[in-house]
């Protein structure tokens, strides 16, 4: 298969490099110094699982790549306005687009450009960073993608999802298929939106927040707000008690120094994904008539920082 990586930074660069190393044809869309480094030296991966370098096509213009089989969309959500118009140049008769972006807005945004029938989606779980131009550093060992049909797909895992999963697995990616991508997307969102909002607003990693009983209670109340929005939209997430146990167990296991990517972006003076996280919760809650007082307050604190560069 021919994969185009739209967003060749930490997440897209890492997965694209694994696919290229496994023998898949991979084309990276990149820009600036990162693009020049990939062209001149290849894309380097530093990882606890082993370091390697791959050489592959790299372009700043999607039209120079042309139609592919699979597009992996892995840019930050605030770049969608600039990046999504590149998709038509990459789309042929049987192309699918897999969005691995944070939040739950991305499938609809992609579908508005290429049509619902082309969109796959799901969350990814990986700790990686683009350390230097042409260098992606994986800081953990997780490399998991849970994906499936973003629209429909309620009758079981589709053949095209299974075929792509085989390619991902052969590349060393922990691929998990589902019939309905909305469920894992929302179950990650239910945790991620409060995690990003609390750590971002406090300018602290999760440890000091989670260890304080009153803050922990507010965190879980915010989880309940996002869960209520999911149910109002008809997403069949797991039962409330199971969901809360899942979130509590997950956060309990996090190292106390763990920061959300939103907090990291704030500390580095970058734009944040507040609109696709807390902002999305608030807007969807308003539309569905679901109160979101905690997430609304945190959104109000973080919103002014969302547009800063």
**DSSP assignment of the chain:** -EEEEES-SHHHHHHHHHHHHTT-EEEEE--HHHHHHHHHH-EEEE-TT--EEE--EEES-GGGT--EEEEEE-S-GGGHHHHGGGHHHHEEEEEEEEE--SSSSHHHHHHHHH-GGGEEE--EEEEEEEEETTEEEEEEEEEEEEEEESS--TTS--HHHHHHHHHHHHTT-EEEEEEETHHHHHHHHHHHHHHHHHHHHHTS-HHHHHTSHHHHHHHHHHHHHHHHHHHHTT--PPPHHHHHHHHHHHHHTS-TT---HHHHHHHTT----TTTTHHHHHHHHHHHT---HHHHHHHHHHGGGTT--
- Contact call for residues 56 and 68 (beta carbons, < 8 A): no
Residue 80 CA, chain-centre distance (Å), reads 13
Break the chain into its structural domains and give their ranges.
Answer: 2-180, 184-305
Kindly tell me if the per-residue pLDDT of 309 is higher than 60: no
User: Which is higher by pLDDT, 139 or 184?
Assistant: 184
- Is the per-residue pLDDT at 4 higher than 90? yes
CATH number of 2-180: 3.40.50.720
Indicate if the pLDDT at residue 172 is higher than 70: yes
Residue 106: count other Cβ atoms within 10 Å of its Cβ: 23
pLDDT of 153 reads 62
Cα distance between residue 138 and residue 126, in whole Å: 8
Spatial contact of 191 and 125, defined as CB atoms under 8 Å apart:
no
Q: Mean per-residue pLDDT for 151-173?
A: 92
> Angle between the 278-288 and 182-202 helix axes, to the nearest 10 degrees?
120
Q: What sign does the CA torsion over 211, 214, 217, 219 have?
A: negative
Q: How confident is the model at residue 308 (pLDDT cuts 50, 70, 90)?
A: low
Average pLDDT over residues 265-280: 94
How many C-beta neighbours within 10 Å does residue 158 have?
17
Average pLDDT over residues 107-130: 95
Residues 6 or more apart whose CB falls under 8 angstroms from that of 105 comprise 77, 276, 280
Tokens read off for 132:
């230097």
Can you give the pLDDT at residue 306?
72
What are the pLDDT digits (tens) for 278-301?
999 999 999 999 999 999 999 999
CATH architecture, domain 184-305: Orthogonal Bundle (1.10)
Q: Looking up tokens 């082993």, which residue turns up?
A: 50
Q: Rounded mean pLDDT of 60-70?
A: 97
pLDDT-based confidence at residue 110 (cuts at 50, 70, 90): very high
């Amino acid at each position: 298969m021919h994969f185009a990586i739209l967003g060749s930074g930490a997440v897209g660069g890492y997965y694209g490099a694994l696919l290229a190393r496994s023998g898949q044809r991979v084309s990276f869309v990149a820009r600036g110094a990162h693009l020049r480094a990939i062209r001149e030296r290849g894309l380097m991966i530093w990882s606890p699982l082993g370091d390697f370098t791959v050489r592959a096509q790299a372009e700043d213009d999607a039209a120079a790549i042309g139609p592919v089989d699979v597009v992996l969309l892995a840019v930050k959500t605030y770049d969608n306005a600039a990046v999504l118009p590149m998709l038509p140049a990459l789309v042929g008769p049987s192309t699918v687009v897999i969005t691995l972006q944070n939040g739950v807005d991305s499938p609809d945004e992609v579908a508005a450009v290429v049509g619902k029938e082309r969109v796959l989606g799901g969350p990814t779980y990986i700790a990686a960073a683009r350390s230097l131009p042409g260098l992606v550093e994986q800081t953990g060992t997780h490399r998991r993608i849970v994906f499936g049909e973003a629209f429909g797909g309620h009758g079981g895992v589709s053949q095209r999802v299974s075929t792509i999963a085989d390619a991902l697995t052969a590349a060393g990616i922990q691929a998990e298929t589902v019939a309905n991508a909305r469920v894992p997307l929302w179950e990650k969102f239910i945790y991620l939106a409060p995690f990003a909002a609390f750590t971002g607003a406090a300018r602290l990693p999760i440890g000091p927040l989670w260890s304080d009983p009153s803050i922990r209670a507010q965190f879980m109340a915010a989880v309940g707000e996002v869960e209520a929005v999911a149910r109002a939209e008809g997403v069949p997430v797991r039962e409330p008690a199971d969901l809360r146990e899942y979130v509590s167990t997950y956060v309990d296991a996090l190292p106390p120094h763990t920061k959300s990517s939103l907090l990291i972006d704030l500390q580095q003076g970058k734009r944040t994904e507040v609109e696709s996280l807390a902002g999305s919760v608030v807007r969807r809650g308003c539309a569905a008539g679901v109160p979101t007082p905690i997430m609304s307050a945190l959104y109000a604190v973080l919103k002014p920082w969302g547009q800063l560069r």
